[in-house]
Structure 1
Amino acid sequence: MKAIVARAPGGPEVLALADVPAPVPGPGEILIDVVAAGINRADVQQRRGFYPPPAGATDILGLEVSGRIAGFGPDVTRPFSVGEKVVALLSGGGYAQQVAVPAGQVLRLPDGVDVVTAASLPEVAATVYSNLFMTAQLQAGETVLVHGGTGGIGVMAVQLAKAAGARVIATAGSDEKAAMLTGFLGADAAINYRSQDFVELVKEHTDGRGANVILDVVGAKYLAQNLSALALYGRLVVIGLQGGTTAELDLGVLLAKRAAVIGTTLRARPTEEKSIIMDGVRSNVWPLVASGAVKTIVDKTFPLAQAAAAHAYFDSGSHVGKVLLTL
C-alpha cells in the first residue's frame, strides 16, 4: 500500500510517498480503508525526531483517520460491519491507505458529518474531553484559559467548554484570530499573546481570581505565567511542549494557591484507557457535534501525496482548525 514515510528527521521535505506492507488486523482490531487523516502537532514533532512512537507502534505518522471498515481481526466484539463509515484514534499509521486499530478506538461518524470532515475529530475530541473533563474536572461556571485557541485542539476546547457552561478565555497569535474566537467560536474573551499580557487580562476578566483550569500546549515557556494566572485550587493541564520541556517551578506559588500541575499524553496510553475515553467522546461529544453546538472546522485539505506541502502549511501557523490529508 501507499503511505507517507519520514526519510530522516527534519522539515516537511523529509516526507515522501512510499510503498509499505499493508497492515494485518490482529486480535480485537479493525482494518480501515482510510479516506482522510488529520495532521496534528505530534506528527510534526515526530517528523522532527522529537516524539518517537510508543513501543510496538508503527513509525508511519498519523494519529487520527476517517474511512470505511475493510475487515476484522479475530475476536472483534463491537457491532460494526464491513463498509461502515468510521473514525479512529491511532497510535500511528494514519498517513496511509489502510490502518489496523483496536476496536475500542473506533467510532461511527456523528450524525451530519461527512466522512472527510470527520477525520478532523477523533484526536482533538479525545484529547480535549479527557483533559478538560476527565482529568481537570471542569465544571459549569468555572473559567478556563485555552492556549492556542484557533488550533485543532483549541477550537474543540473552546466549544466543548462553552457547551459545558464554563467561561472561556483563549489566546491566539493575531487580532484576526482573536476576533474569530469571540465571534464564530463563542469564547467570552480572547487575547493576542503576541501583543498582550495574558496573565494580566485573565485576572482582569475574572475580577482578580484567575482561571480555574488552564489547558496548555506551550509547556516550559509559560509555566511561571500559567501559575500566576491560576485561581485558588486551579488546575494547570500541560498537554504540549511547543515552548520547551524544562522550567523552574515556584512551589511557594503552587502551595499558596493549593493548585495542581498535571501533565498528560494521549498517544502512549493503554488501549483500555483509550477505549474509555472514546466511549466518553461518543456519549458526550458526538451529540454536540450532531446538533451543531460544536462545529467541525477544516481549514484546508491536501492529497496524501502532498503531505510535505501540508506540513509546510501547518508549520506556518496560518491555519484555523484542522488540516487534513485525503485519499
Structure 2
Amino acid sequence: MVTNGQLCAGESVLINGASGGVAMAAIQIASLLGAKPVIAQSRSAAKLDRLTQFGVDVGIDSSRQSQVDVVMAATDKRGVDLIIDTVGGPVFEANMQSLAIKGRLVNIARLGSATAQIDLGQLWLKRLKLIGVTFRTRTEEERLECIQACARDLLPHLGAGRIHLPIDRTFPMDAIGEAHAYMILDQHIGKIVLTID
C-alpha cells in the first residue's frame, strides 16, 4: 500500500477480491491512512455489506455491476490513484480502465489468472505504473526494510485494534479437506484457520 503503491492521504483506492485476508488488511490500511474513497470489489453483495465496517466507502458487486462505471461515478470520472489487485487476469483490463492518470496498479496475487492482455495505449496515455509485489525474490535486507516500514506505519494501529482480520471459521487439521471445500465455496470473509490440538 505505501512502499510499492505510494499511497498518500486523500488519494482514491480500489481493492479487488475484497473479502480475502490480504485485501481486508489493505482496506483497513487504506482507510486509516486517509484514502478517499476506499472502493472494494467482490462478487457478493452480502460480503460488500459486511466490509463497510472495515472501511469500505463504495462497494462494487462485480456479479451485476461494471467496475469501471462504479469507479468513474465514485471519482467524478477521474479514476482511482491506486489499485491493490489480488485477482489478476480477469480484472486486469477493467483495472487499467479504472486508473486515473499517473495511477498505480499493485498486483500481489493472481487468484483469477496469471495472464492478461495489456492495452499499451492505456499504459502510455495515462502514464501508469504497473507494480508486481512478492517476498519470494526479495533479499533479506529488502525483507527487513519492509518489516521495519510495516512496524513503523502499522504497529500503533494493530496495538489499538484498528486493524484486525476476522477468522471466518476454524477446522481441525484432520479436516483439511473439509476446510478446502469450504474455501472453494467462496462464502467466507477473512481467514479460514486450521487448528492443531
Name the CA distance, whole Å, in 1 between partners of 2:176 and 2:22. Answer: 20
- Which of 219, 228, 242 is the aligned partner of 2:97? 228
User: TM-score under structure 1 normalisation?
Assistant: 0.57
**Deviation string for 1:49-106 (max 9, x for gaps)?**
xxxxxxxxxxxxxxxxxxxxxxxxxxxxxxxxxxxxxxxxxxxxxxxxxxxxxxxxxx
- Are 1:174 and 2:52 an aligned pair? no
C-alpha deviation, 1:152, in angstroms:
0.4
Name the CA distance, whole Å, in 2 between partners of 1:177 and 1:202. Answer: 18
**Deviation string for 1:161-201 (max 9, x for gaps)?**
0000002000112111111122x112111111111101110
Verify the 8 A CA contact 2:13 2:35 in the aligned structure 1. Answer: yes
2:148 paired residue number: 279
Normalized per residue, the structure richer in strand is: 1
2:180 paired residue number: 311
Name the CA distance, whole Å, in 2 between partners of 1:279 and 1:225. Answer: 34
Q: Which amino acid aligns with 1:178?
A: L
Name the CA distance, whole Å, in 1 between partners of 2:19 and 2:109. Answer: 15
1:152 paired residue number: 21
Q: Which amino acid aligns with 1:171?
A: Q
Verify the 8 A CA contact 2:60 2:67 in the aligned structure 1. Answer: yes
Verify the 8 A CA contact 1:214 1:237 in the aligned structure 2. Answer: yes
Give unmatched runs, 5+ long, in structure 1: 1-131
C-alpha deviation, 1:313, in angstroms:
1.4
Name the CA distance, whole Å, in 2 between partners of 1:222 and 1:297. Answer: 25
Q: CA RMSD in A?
A: 1.4
- Which of 66, 72, 89 is the aligned partner of 1:197? 66
Q: Percent identity?
A: 38
User: TM-score under structure 2 normalisation?
Assistant: 0.93
Name the CA distance, whole Å, in 1 between partners of 2:141 and 2:180. Answer: 31
2:81 paired residue number: 212
**Deviation string for 1:31-63 (max 9, x for gaps)?**
xxxxxxxxxxxxxxxxxxxxxxxxxxxxxxxxx
Verify the 8 A CA contact 2:15 2:27 in the aligned structure 1. Answer: yes
Task: Report SS of the residue matched to 1:294.
Answer: coil
C-alpha deviation, 1:245, in angstroms:
2.4
C-alpha deviation, 1:274, in angstroms:
1.9
Verify the 8 A CA contact 2:23 2:86 in the aligned structure 1. Answer: no
Verify the 8 A CA contact 1:289 1:296 in the aligned structure 2. Answer: no
Name the CA distance, whole Å, in 1 between partners of 2:136 and 2:184. Answer: 21
Task: Report SS of the residue matched to 2:171.
Answer: strand
1:136 paired residue number: 5
Q: How many residues align?
A: 195
Verify the 8 A CA contact 1:217 1:238 in the aligned structure 2. Answer: yes
Note the 1:37-52 alignment, pairs <5 A: none
Name the CA distance, whole Å, in 1 between partners of 2:144 and 2:194. Answer: 25
Higher alpha-carbon Rg:
1
Normalized per residue, the structure richer in helix is: 2
**Deviation string for 1:243-269 (max 9, x for gaps)?**
222222111111110111112222343
Moved over 6 A (4+): none
Task: Report SS of the residue matched to 1:233.
Answer: strand
C-alpha deviation, 1:153, in angstroms:
1.0
Name the CA distance, whole Å, in 1 between partners of 2:57 and 2:7. Answer: 16
Note the 1:54-133 alignment, pairs <5 A: 132-133=1-2
1:188 paired residue number: 57
Name the CA distance, whole Å, in 2 between partners of 1:296 and 1:178. Answer: 15
Name the CA distance, whole Å, in 2 between partners of 1:270 and 1:304. Answer: 32
1:262 paired residue number: 131
